[in-house]
Amino acid sequence: MKGHVLSTETPPQTDPDQLPPFTEQLSQQLGGVRGVVEAAVPITLFVILNPILGDRVLGPLNGLQWAIVISASSAVAIAIWRAVRKEPIRYALNGLFGIALGAFLAWRSDDARDFYLPGIIQGGIYGFLLIGSALIRHPIIGWIYAVVAQGGKKEWRDNEPLVDVLSKITILWGAVFLVKNAGRLWLYFADMDHALGYVTLFGGWPVTIALTAFTIWAVRRKMKAVQAAGAGTA
């Protein structure tokens, strides 16, 4: 079979020195500090306001409804502000759908837990997709990394050591998503909405930033090791 023919050609490598600096790559992946902050604003507002406002009725709405309105409004306002300034709104839109769906479910049921339900389901699906993509040697994190660090080029697919490390990293991402959202699901069924909010908040962007930083570090380290091995046998 063609796929099993051994080749004596050296797979194309990417020079780590030609990549953007580590901090620049991290910023590009996350949309910069501003992108991280803006994405975290709606959920942060809900997590803070929901326990503070509680079940009190304030005017036409109860505490939960005010928390929903303020959280959802902040997400819409951020997207509109970016659009007016003709700035990319993809980072704002990424979370807007989940916030809107969660707000709708929580409003309809009058249960704060349902605000987090779409994110729990979405995170679980992401976990299975990430692990599945790694098992078939098309790691999702690899494709994302190629878009950010290599301008969308596919040369990384011919670099077996790089595919290996990206597959392992993708499995790590998937495992973290599954474990985190299994814990959130347990809190959901345990009716611990405040704890669910804190886990969602501190297990969201902080964990994503840590995984992204580890991914960039591991890939750059592997690329340098492969190049050093190639230079030693040249």
Of 223, 229, 225, 202, nearest to 16 by C-alpha is 223
Task: List the domain boundaries for the chain.
Answer: 19-112, 116-229
Residue listed under structure tokens 């959130």: 184
Per-position pLDDT tens, the chain of length 234: 444 333 334 444 445 445 555 555 555 555 555 666 777 888 899 999 999 887 777 788 898 999 999 999 998 898 888 888 777 666 666 667 778 899 999 999 999 999 999 999 999 999 999 999 999 999 999 888 777 766 667 777 888 888 999 999 999 999 999 999 999 999 999 999 999 999 999 998 889 889 988 998 888 888 787 767 666 555
**What confidence score (pLDDT) does residue 48 get?**
93
**What confidence score (pLDDT) does residue 162 get?**
86
Q: What's the Cα-to-Cα distance from 145 to each of 140, 190, 219, rounded to whole Å?
A: 9, 37, 9
Residue 58 DSSP label: E
**What confidence score (pLDDT) does residue 17 get?**
45
Catalogue the long-range contacts made by 180-185 (C-beta closer than 8 Å, 24 or more residues apart).
Answer: 180/123, 180/207, 181/120, 181/123, 181/124, 181/127, 182/124, 184/116, 184/119, 184/120, 184/123, 185/120, 185/124
